[in-house]
Amino acid sequence: MLDQFLTALPNFLIYFAAAITLMAAFLVVYINITPYQEISLIRANNMAAAVSLAGSLLGFALPIANVIAHSDTLLDLALWGLVAGVVQLVAYRIARLTLPQLDQDIPAGRMAPAIFLATLSITVGLLNAACLSY
């Protein structure tokens, strides 16, 4: 059993590092696309910013986790990670079209739009993950 663990450990570390890198890259892109400063708002205890950003991260992590479980290569992970990121950005854009005041609602701490955005992000991420089961 220890031999299997030691044999699998390097792959775990490589895939985990790749997943964290993808998450960090997605986070950087996402917070630079939104018109408000999520990190500053979260530091100021803005629950709406925390909920909406958490939903977006979970929505991105779901397909990444599924790709890791089903992929054979890091290239697979990277390419499908790119697709997952684009899908999440489209979900955000749909939320902005549905709720035109979203860029004022989140900084104002309005929870209903934040919950909608988080739910949309997680739902889209779940569907995206299911579509990546190959």
pLDDT digits (tens, 9 = 90+) for 56-98: 999 999 999 999 999 889 999 999 999 999 999 999 999 999 9
Is residue 134 over pLDDT 80? no
pTM, 2 dp? 0.93
| Whole-number average pLDDT of the chain | 95
Q: Do 115 and 51 meet the contact criterion of CB atoms below 8 Å apart?
A: yes
The Cα 120–Cα 112 span in angstroms is: 12
Mean pLDDT of all residues in 93-104? 96
CA distances from 29 to 1, 6, 21, 45 (A): 41, 35, 12, 22
The Cα 65–Cα 72 span in angstroms is: 13
Q: Which pLDDT tens digit goes with each residue over 42-61?
A: 999 999 999 999 999 999 99
